[in-house]
Chains A and B, each alone.
Chain A
């Protein structure tokens, strides 16, 4: 039950993009086509899960026993950067087809605040390892959902006749706002 609650809350009620404002850059940047946004979503799901496990272990077995919890930000960002690099190298060797699909998105992920945000939130919420993994995966699904829905809308936005000033980022932001408004309808179910 507890896990279902975490999952529903992370996907719908506190959607990572539309309610928590994490990962806005890829949300606005790569969401102009459904296909690319699926690739980005896949890469993020992959990295967010591994990164959350790695940072969780580092926090509880290295930083906390040594009493240097304040090094959290520095340690986490280094781990995430190294991890992304590693995933990229391994994928290239092991599965070239997957690398082809996710490759271009991987370097961008280091500065995706969703990854670092989830890693920090897990510690703030005092989750255990299993809860952390569930939380990470659920947030990744929430990210994917927001990204793909938004990309679908943007594909048809291209055909709309807009005033000059509203073209590009402004209309994307307004649409994102309306999407966020729709997601607010989920508030209260958990």
Chain B
């Protein structure tokens, strides 16, 4: 596989949010606004890239039997780093994302890429795969966040789009997350079928 398709597959063809349906918990739980979605996406991207890098470096030293626990420890270390640095430098965003930062550790996307890609490929492709998948995830989360923000409160990234009396609170609350994601996937399916 050449590096360009390796990088771009995460955006459309194998988008983690819309196609693979991995990492659904943060995708639904943190996308109350475009900014929160972007923050969560970038935090996950960092963990994904670093975990892919380290795991592809040490893949030959890890016995096959204990590879999953070893991967989880590597991932958990980077999650702790993200958690602590975000609490220090971006306390407002950390407050918003709350529980979902430590929960990156059980995001099936991160462990899935470690197991399916980084443990079988060299360092360079693993890092590129991590960046592509991570940015694809961030793109999905930002899009979902933007849709929910614009429908829920008439804003995107805090900028007013609709009049300020507009509000459809349900899209900011829990049910709107499910419904918005459901329709976004349906729209994606429609376009995928056409091609």
Contact = CB atoms under 8 A, between A and B. Distances in A.
A171 B185 CA distance: 9
B147 to A, nearest CB: 13
A170 B185 contact: yes
A145 interface: no
Interface string B154-195: 000000000000000010011111110111011101100100
A164 interface: yes
8 contacts: A21-B29, A21-B174, A25-B108, A28-B24, A70-B80, A113-B106, A177-B177, A180-B175
B43 to A, nearest CB: 13
Interface residues of B, number: 41
Contacts of A28: 21, 24
B84 interface: yes
B178 A113 contact: no
Given A81-B72, A120-B99, A111 B108 contact: yes
A83 to B, nearest CB: 12
| Chain A interface extent, by class | 35 or more
B182 A24 contact: no
A73 B182 contact: no
Contacts of A77: 72-73, 76, 105-106
Main secondary structure of the interface of A (DSSP, over half): helix
Nearest to A181: B175
Contacts, number: 121
Given A72-B102, A78-B76, A110-B72, 12 more contacts: A22-B103, A25-B24, A73-B80, A81-B69, A110-B106, A116-B106, A117-B99, A117-B103, A124-B99, A164-B193, A173-B178, A181-B170
A94 to B, nearest CB: 24
Given A174-B179, A177-B175, A184-B174, A165 B69 contact: no
A77 B173 CA distance: 29
Given A81-B72, A164-B193, A177-B177, A73 B185 contact: no
Contact of B73 (A20, A72, A78): A78
B184 to A, nearest CB: 8
